[in-house]
Amino acid sequence: MPRELTPIEKLQLLLPGYRGYKAKDLIRQDDFLVRRAVIDRLEQTIRIISEKESFIASTDPFSPQLKVMEFLISKIRELINNIMSSQGGGADIYARWKVTTEELDQIVNHDMKMIDIASQLVELAKNNRIEEFEPLLNDLRAVFYDRMKLFYPPELRK
């Protein structure tokens, strides 16, 4: 009977080049790979919603659904900007404090959650279930900010 994959193994299958923060000098690269994968999925979600929005606008230009779609696209873009503009994980982290194995495990779990949520958003967009976006976007934002805190010393995590 095959065993279940660990979060690091799942991420290594999803993200070519991902090492699970094992090497100090690759921490920033792993962080970038995860954030880029989440951003790619969010941009794919925007493309899907925009296509559906274009179709609705051509058939019913005054549909109230258009305003909802624009609002969701705006929230997704804001989240993309926050993810892109945040400081790269692990910026000289080992020069300042020691990151424990437990903290690295938490970061990997957060990485997996972020990719799972972003993938769920893509599927919801494909299935035209935009009413379910709001809680997932909030979850993704919360997981991302919790994850970023793990790259700071414990006394600075608030």
HSE-up of 152 (CA within 13 Å, CB side)?
Answer: 12
pLDDT band at 88 (very low <50, low <70, confident <90, very high): low
Q: What pLDDT digit, counting tens, does each position of 18-30 carry?
A: 877 766 666 778 8
Domain assignments of the chain as residue spans, ordered by start? 8-83+98-156
pLDDT of residue 151: 76
Q: What pLDDT digit, counting tens, does each position of 34-74 carry?
A: 999 999 999 999 999 999 999 999 999 899 999 999 999 99
**Do residues 31 and 79 touch, judged by C-beta distance below 8 A?**
no
Full-prediction pTM beyond 0.75? Answer: yes
Burial of 119-141, coded b for 16+ CB within 10 Å and e otherwise, reads bbbbebbeeeebeebeebbeebb
pLDDT of residue 51: 96
Q: How far apart are CA 30 and CA 118, in angstroms?
A: 17
For the ranges 2-6, 92-96, 119-123, 147-151, the lowest mean pLDDT is seen at 92-96
- Look at residue 94 and tell me whether its pLDDT is greater than 50: no
Structure tokens, 156? 């600075």
Task: Work out the burial of residue 158: count CB atoms within 10 Å of its CB; fewer than 13 is exposed, 13-18 middle, 19 or more buried.
Answer: exposed
Q: What pLDDT digit, counting tens, does each position of 3-18 carry?
A: 787 888 888 888 877 8
Q: What pLDDT digit, counting tens, does each position of 103-138 carry?
A: 888 888 999 999 999 999 999 999 999 999 999 999
